[in-house]
Amino acid sequence: EAQVTQNPRYLITVTGKKLTVTCSQNMNHEYMSWYRQDPGLGLRQIYYSMNVEVTDKGDVPEGYKVSRKEKRNFPLILESPSPNQTSLYFCASSSPINSPLHFGNGTRLTVT
Amino acid sequence: TQLLEQSPQFLSIQEGENLTVYCNSSSVFSSLQWYRQEPGEGPVLLVTVVTGGEVKKLKRLTFQFGDARKDSSLHITAAQPGDTGLYLCAANFGNEKLTFGTGTRLTIIP
C-alpha cells in the first residue's frame, strides 16, 4: 500500500531535549516536505526537499533541521525544542513537485 | 508572500442542506487543489483544477475554478454526516511551493 509513515504519532517532551520525528514514503517520490498545523494558521511549511541531498527552508524553518540522505526518508530534527514548537506535524511527499501531496497521519508534539 | 483566504472559517449545517465554501487570493494561481482532513489523519486530496472556469464534479461535490484564476469554490449538495471535516485549498502560484489556506471546518448535524 502506498503510504507516508510518520513516527511517533504522539510525543511529549521537555524544553531542550533533542528529538527526531521520522518520515518514510514507499512511492519513490522525489519531493518531500514537513508542515506544522496550528489552529487558525493552517498548514505552514517548515522545510522541503526536491531530491536526495537537496533541502530548502519553507516559511517557518527556525528551530528545525532536516536531512535527506535517502530518497524514502526525511526526518525532522528539533535540536532544542521549545514550548512554541508544540504543534501537529505532517510529512508529505509527491512526484513530480506540485503534484498532489500524500500526507502522513501526523505527529502531535507537546513541549513542556 | 501570497495568501489564500478561505471562508467561512466554521460552518455547521443540518444533514440534507447545501453549502458552498470559498478560497480566494489577490494573486493568480497556476493550479489549485482541494483536500479534506478528518480528525487524527492527514489531508487527503479531493481534486485538482488547472484551467480558469473549470468545473469538476465528485459525486455530490462540485469544484469551480474562477475565470480569473484567483478564486475557487466547493459546493456540496445534500450534505451528509460523512462530509464533516476540515476542507483545505492549496494553490500553486507558479513556483516550487504549495500554499495552503487556513481551512473551513465543516460540521454536518444528523
Which residues of A lie closer than 8 Å to B, measured between beta carbons? 4, 35, 40-45, 48, 50, 56, 58-59, 90, 92, 97-98, 100-101, 103-106
Q: Which three cell numbers, joined as nine digits, stand for A108?
A: 502531535
Residue B3: the pLDDT is: 82
Nearest CA in chain B to A108: B40
Residue B2: the pLDDT is: 65
In whole angstroms, what is the distance from residue A92 CA to residue A70 CA? 15
Q: Do A106 and B44 touch (CB under 8 A)?
A: no
Q: What angle do CA A63, B32, B58 make, to 5 degrees?
A: 120
**Where residue A95 falls among pLDDT bands split at 50, 70, 90?**
confident
Please write the tens of the pLDDT for every residue from A2-40.
Answer: 899 999 999 999 999 999 999 999 999 999 999 999 988
Nearest CA in chain A to B93: A98
**Where residue A89 falls among pLDDT bands split at 50, 70, 90?**
very high
Please write the tens of the pLDDT for every residue from B58-98.
Answer: 999 999 999 999 999 999 999 999 999 999 999 988 777 78
Residues A36 and A59: beta-carbon distance below 8 Å:
no
Q: Do A100 and B102 touch (CB under 8 A)?
A: no
Q: Which three cell numbers, joined as nine digits, stand for A34?
A: 514537513
In whole angstroms, what is the distance from residue A107 CA to residue A22 CA? 10
Residues B70 and B82: beta-carbon distance below 8 Å:
no
Residue B92: the pLDDT is: 87
**Three-state SS for A96?**
coil
Mean pLDDT on A90-105: 91
